[in-house]
Structure 1
């Protein structure tokens, strides 16, 4: 998922955060002192607030962690893995051209508002997204729709992608047929995305009465997406409350769920922005689990008897460069110099958990299409200085944005990682002008708009295809990067059009080689993020895609 688009939190000091953790949820528990299996509320701490209760308007892990419990897509991934399995569609198929996708839907499925799920509901959702207008067409709002299905029925922005969605037809009550104009490497994987999860048609009608709006880079999201009561999915939990003051979202078991019922009645997601405070809350018994365990805390917690499973590596952390924000970055020697200036091995050694790896390209080596033949840029301060001299940029001064109040799977300690890279760049003679920005919405909107010359971002894959990584950024012009290089774009898109698996893998390798020859940014590292649970918790299967299903959780 586009984890860098996470919706985060306002600052809270450790003392305040601990106070909230200790007291904020006592009314949600069964008397506050029940043990083991008597508990009816599971409290989980994430690093940031969700940005929206409508996953279609999001592209970040913290939002999807919450909405995934309430909304389901046509396809899902097997528990703990990356293999596609049936979701709201029991079976699916496509024609030979990959343009017509047929979904045989589950029967006797209800939405949280009592509406029946059927093929007409599927088509109502896809047509709703296709007909978005105004601010909804902003890539910051409809990122995933544009990534998977292109543009809209009527593009209002000349830079909007050409629409690939053609139509959705309810062939019968339990058969939906979705047609696209051109085959895509994003399908069928895209049908599993939370951003394309299915909502109640009744809820959609309410959504359509409200607009999103924008002022500069700042987005104002519609009211229905910011408070519980309107959104309605088919998942094992329904969203019942969003207490922004206490940074909590509450969900309640949906007793009419079509599948296995959630084992715990109430589910609470709480925002605790710092790793240390999340650990302290778990050790104090104030929460039952948390994500993004600090590397140094994994062994400590395991020795104390906590469950601390580690996910498989499926992410990439990178230093982004926006050529539109600083014209010096248009010079390849400058981009190469910055890449040589960063000591990636030191960053991995000091900042990431065991199993972290320095990156050479914009995908981890666990994804088919990873190439051993990409051009590499080893740490070399002298080389960086020489390249800057060649470019006439010995006195380069550059803005470097970094996020505050957030932790991400690929970026455990953003400020520490920023400071290391800043020091590396300064050793090469580059004047770094720090720009600390609140993760959401400031940092996310600014990087999306290409306003930050240098910036730290990352990605955890949505599904197991190379295009989900490199196609995310380099299939065409993107404001985040601000460059146009047809050789790169053509290489990435050529890979997406190959249907033979072996041929596609080879094409992705060629695309990775073209990207790193151009070097639009610096791939830094990949990391295996850990997740922690209390001693009395039976955890869910952990997912390399960070797609845990908390309906699987129970108390011992």
Structure 2
């Protein structure tokens, strides 16, 4: 697994920065009395896509578009995180857990008319595995490296052995994929858009592997910018960079239920207020990342606010190798900090309706969640008593918090920090504040050095397995947390390689208990982000993974 610093850095592309401004241009959708099947829906997004080859991207805005064009072998259930069949009707391991047989749907075609089959699946896996040059840059094939680890021939010492070993086609409808070890990531992570199956003919025709430029200035090939071809319900029409729009249209040869819309347009409007006004003016018919403060007003105006299930966590990390390491290495001091924070008040004051206090570092609803973990109720007196038991007085903590950003799990960083600071001061703890710009100063500062005692950060899940939360944080030593707990690390390694899913889920429960007893930080909240659509739009089901499918969207 690659360092989380890289992960969070790439995730910045999906952040809504407060400093960015933009304006809505008029792209009023057809509002005539034509049938629903002739309608256009324009959806406002916060930022431009990076590229339209999902194998080469990791940002949310690229994925929002490519999820409509492409499909994966397995996918999250609609509106949830559970893995269900996608282009594969069945997926079964052998007795070793190393060979998986994917039985593919029949009669599926790519949007260029080519047949989807096992040979096409293996072509895609071999393409990723045999990447060379800039295709091995972590900013280009980030999720391959995060999930698979390495390539056929690694060109960097930072890369390890590949999890992927081989793919073999048995006839047209069976792809046999072999891995080098059993891991919780497989096959769940194949639901990520980066593992979408593309047309081999189009990949070759439009030079999909010819990534050029430099590590600091990557140039994507024609396939990724002008000719994406998948099996999905919408096909690519054009990317108008001047007007900041990506236009898709219904794929009339789609194997499943055809899209109800004729045209789907994603339009970049960077400024949140401009997106809101564009919705009110019917220049767009929906947008994402609704500000919590806007939810009530939009509902009162008749708009449909769609709240996603919370699939994230905000935490306050405690760095045991920071300036106050002598005190913070004592579990009683960490317990005192946890008791000092009034998390109920934070959720009520700073989070939208439906948010909950976090009791552990994964959201409820994922297998492995443990209602029996140690909980740390708000009590200033208990915090003071624990500090006294630890023999710690005059404790000073360097508290880093981010500026110029909001995240679904952290809608108001400064406001949340102020409430935590006030709580800590009530318990007799002195707080020294260090605000830092989200990217790159804050992310680099809290994840790559030790000049912090506590800080705010969080995580939104990539796919539906608890290890994607717990393992991301705690399965190895990192500068963010600054502790070494080999027993915990060994427990993670054992859970990750457990082939029996039900046994693994039980191990996750045990890990949650161990983590909350050891208390490397304080989980704070789970916040459900929202999107909004016009009064006459229906058929979009909110997804905890932002995997909204527009195939069933209607404009009436």
Give the TM-score range, shorter chain. 0.7 to 0.9
SS in 1 for 2:364: coil
CA-CA distance at 1:264 after TM superposition? 1.4
How far is the alpha carbon of 1:365 from its aligned partner? 2.3
* CA–CA separation in structure 1 for the residues paired with 2:514 and 2:254: 48
Residue 466 (structure 1) aligns with: 466
Aligned with 2:430: secondary structure? coil
Distance in 2, matches of 1:82 and 1:546, equals 10
Does the residue aligned with 1:97 lie in a helix, a strand or coil? Answer: coil
* Inter-CA distance 433–408: structure 2 relative to 1 (3 Å threshold): closer
C-alpha distance after superposition, 1:200-222 (max 9, x if no partner): 324544232214743xxxx5443
Structure 1, 292-301 or 95-104: larger mean CA deviation = 292-301
Aligned to 1:303: 300
Residue range with higher mean Cα deviation, 463-472 or 89-98: 463-472
Structure 1 residues 114-125: aligned runs within 5 Å: 114-125=113-124
Q: Indicate whether 1:229 and 2:226 are aligned.
A: yes
Separation in structure 2 between the aligned mates of residue 54 and residue 210 of structure 1, nearest angstrom: 11
Residue 549 of structure 1 deviates from its aligned partner by 0.5
Residue of structure 1 in register with 2:209 after alignment: 208
Confirm whether residue 175 of structure 1 aligns to residue 174 of structure 2. yes
State whether structure 2 residue 280 is matched by structure 1 residue 283. Answer: yes
Name the CA shift for 1:492/1:138 in 2 (closer, same or farther; >3 Å). Answer: farther
Mapped partners of 1:322, 1:221: distance in 2: 35
Deviates more, 1:327-336 or 1:170-179: 327-336
Gaps of 5+ in 1: none
TM superposition score normalised by structure 1: 0.83
Deviations for 1:12-52, whole angstroms, at most 9, x for unmatched residues?
879x63xx32x2425xx44xx53674663211123444344
- Separation of aligned partners in 2, 1:246 and 1:85: 37
Change (3 A) 1:204 1:520: farther
Residues 379-438 of structure 1 deviation map (CA, whole Å, 9 limit, x = unaligned): 56684894999679944445433453xx54323344544554566567732212111235
TM norm structure 2:
0.83
Q: Which structure 2 segments of 5+ residues have no match?
A: 1-6
Distance 2:451 2:167 in 1: 39
254-263 or 544-553, which deviates more:
254-263
**Contact 2:57–2:194 under 8 Å retained in 1:** yes
Q: What residue is the counterpart of 1:530 in the other structure?
A: 530
Contact 2:46 2:268 in 1 (8 A): yes
**CA apart distance, 1:137:** 4.4
Aligned match of 2:476: 476
Task: Give the Å deviation of 1:349.
Answer: 0.8
Shift in Å, 1:99: 1.0
1:238 offset after TM fit, Å?
A: 2.8
Could you list the per-position Cα deviations for residues 238-289 of structure 1 after superposition, in whole angstroms to 9, with x for gaps in the alignment? Answer: 3444445554333233333332222212222234445544333322222111
* Alignment partners' CA distance in 1, 2:379 and 2:362: 23
How far, CA to CA, are the matches of 2:334 and 2:50 in structure 1?
A: 33
More deviation in 327-336 or 411-420? 327-336
Question: Aligned residue for 2:3?
Answer: none
Question: How far apart are the structure 1 equivalents of 2:422 and 2:110?
Answer: 53
1:25 maps to what in 2? 27
CA contact (8 A) 1:401 1:452 kept: no
What does residue 104 of structure 1 align with? 103
Q: Distance in 1 between matches of 2:424 and 2:199?
A: 51
Q: Which has the larger radius of gyration?
A: 2
Asked if the contact 1:112–1:232 (Cα under 8 Å) also holds between the matched residues in 2, the reply is yes
2:337 and 2:122 map into 1 onto residues whose CA distance is: 47
Counterpart CA distance in 2 for 1:130 and 1:347 is 45
Query: What's the offset of the Cα at 1:336?
Result: 5.9
Map 1:495-534 onto structure 2 (within 5 A).
495-534=495-534
Q: Does the Cα contact within 8 Å between 1:6 and 1:63 map onto a contact in 2? A: no
Find the aligned partners of 2:184 and 2:116 in 1 and give their Cα distance: 28
Helix, strand or coil: the match of 1:148? helix
